A and B are shown apart, each in its own frame.
Chain A
């Protein structure tokens, strides 16, 4: 029984972390008014790069760092398309996402199906040795805790800092922001880079900690869940985090219930995480005023100076 509890809670934290990084990055991107749908591809590139680098150098830290760089690099392709060539956000995002999936296969080619030793857990002394609580909360790898820190960092950045105010202004009305002298294109560009790097870290977490192996297609649709989480989480970091943990919890519960032998059709169980997460987030955000307040008004619209 206790084993199960540890599995469920500790597992949830780990399952949600890759989603969390990517979703927080995408929140900043969308708050700046850009819709980047290429998360799946960016996570895949991050995962493949992280695995390759960590295998070759033996260093997980450089794995994460170069994964962030690689995905940010891929996101510049998207940024150039939508910011300078004014391409449609949706089409450019899809194209770059597919490009990313292909690139990830190429990058990881020599390591297909290989495993790696996972990122080691943080030893927090007596905290980690606490009965039950130690295993559930205090014996994870450092990136998982960084994920939790990022929730609050992004929340503070967007709603309490001047930079956040500028990002939101650019996402609400780029014309007004530009008129008072903010470099709209530059801010959007940096937001996209940040989103790319975060997606890369999410992908890296997937292969360096959560599932320590590389195989093509390993991201398995998580990038699309991230897009849904951001929208249904109303672009608010705390809600998005809640959604990510909820998704992680229900997807583990699904496997757990199957193992217990309940006669619920497993196809329905497999759909559960998506249904539960979306239904709960939709119910939480059904207030139309809330939507008006949080939805970036110029989301997904191309903008150039003389518009």
Chain B
């Protein structure tokens, strides 16, 4: 007991010292915690989030300090990391996975002084905002390129799960291809797995064996599908990152996402105490999505029509989901000139005509 008495004040003193140290630091620099669901590799989802972090550091310089934790699965581990970061005195947290939503929201309620931004969720609070990208915009443009280069008229797609975001991308890509090549048919292989590069590669090979000469790799975090396309000599489009180095001759286009501008804006808002949460659904107009590394194999006119469409989408003149849109069963879902609302797009559960594969139900 005597011993404990001697240790306890010491420990308390130490604790107080760290606490005060934490607060003084927080006044000097703005501390931001980043949590990624996978390792920040050379390409892929976590890589792009990390690029956003880099943009923030470049913009604010010494005024910000980053705490990065990567490869955190959804669930209790994520909650633990969040609490740990809060205890470390971060001023803001960036949560990089859909599955962090509920734990993140709980943490946000417990620490009202910390502002949170969360990837791809749907719940918000005053200090908890979420962010998504309008990948269907870049998908439409990449689809146009696919329509131009295909000779067999068949596009093969490798997709993980049939969630609304993926379905939206598939439809927009198909509509883009059909805009200049109405006879396009599309085959999809659903992997039913978030992560299995071997299976993704075999799927691409199987689609190529069945005459697909453009392959669309949807949300594959690794260059698995892209390298197969290069090896087999067919065109390929991918999402998230620019994968030109993995398919120097056969990359048709990469649908890149960029979080820099949004992160910087939110950090600034949080520094100024004007952070309000809310939802951000960034498209081409916000520099959040773009089409990169468009293949040189497209002719000048084809390239010009792509650029024109990019301009029209960025300015809001053109919506990729403009009627007439007919679904797989031949039913007209949007009449001539009608456009799909954001709410409908967020819960989309149909595929357009020309896609041969059904939704897994």
Contacts and interface: CB of A to CB of B under 8 A. Distances in A.
B192 A266 contact: yes
Interface string A154-177: 000000000000000000000000
A14 B71 CA distance: 30
B223 A6 contact: no
A148 B206 CA distance: 24
A220 B199 contact: yes
A145 interface: no
A11 B357 contact: no
Contacts of A6: 209
Interface stretch (B24-32, B40-48, B264-272): B40-48
Interface in B112-158: 156
Interface in B176-214: 187-193, 195-199, 201-203, 205-212
A40 interface: no
B156 to A, nearest CB: 7
A258 B39 contact: no
Q: Which of A15, A109, A217 has the most CB of B within 10 A?
A: A217
Q: Which of A213, A217, A218, A267 has the most CB of B within 10 A?
A: A213
A182 B272 CA distance: 78
B206 A252 contact: yes
B189 A113 contact: no
A256 B198 contact: no
A212 B223 contact: no
Nearest to B157: A259
B71 A105 contact: yes
B358 interface: yes
A191 B357 CA distance: 48
B91 interface: no
**4 closest residue pairs by CB, A with B:** A113-B41, A261-B356, A7-B209, A112-B41
A213 B43 CA distance: 13
B164 to A, nearest CB: 17
Contacts of A218: 197-198
Given A211-B197, A266-B360, A259 B189 contact: yes
A229 interface: no
Interface in A257-293: 258-261, 263, 265-267, 270
18 contacts: A8-B209, A11-B202, A15-B202, A113-B42, A113-B44, A114-B41, A114-B42, A213-B224, A215-B197, A215-B221, A216-B38, A220-B197, A220-B199, A258-B189, A259-B187, A259-B203, A267-B192, A267-B360
B135 to A, nearest CB: 20
Nearest to A111: B41
A153 interface: no
Interface string A189-200: 000000000000
B227 interface: yes
Contacts of B224: 211, 213
Interface residues of B, number: 43
A217 B39 CA distance: 11
Given A211-B224, A255-B203, A261-B187, A109 B39 contact: yes
B227 A115 contact: yes
A4 interface: yes
Interface string B281-309: 00000000000000000000000000000
B227 A212 contact: yes
A113 B221 contact: yes
A261 to B, nearest CB: 4
B195 A259 contact: no
Given A211-B201, A265-B360, A113 B187 contact: no
A116 to B, nearest CB: 10
A105 B198 CA distance: 17
B361 interface: yes
Nearest to A215: B222
B246 interface: yes
Given A4-B210, A115-B223, A258-B188, A216 B39 contact: yes
Given A113-B41, A113-B43, A260-B187, A252 B71 contact: no
Contacts of A115: 223, 227, 246
A220 B358 CA distance: 26
Given A15-B198, A113-B223, 18 more contacts: A3-B211, A4-B209, A6-B209, A105-B39, A109-B39, A113-B42, A115-B223, A115-B246, A213-B223, A215-B221, A218-B197, A220-B193, A252-B206, A255-B199, A256-B206, A259-B210, A261-B187, A270-B192
Contacts of A265: 360-361
Contacts of B358: 261, 263
Contacts of A15: 198, 202
A258 B227 contact: no
Contacts of A217: 195
Nearest to B241: A113
A113 B187 CA distance: 26
A210 interface: yes
A206 B202 CA distance: 12
A107 B201 CA distance: 23
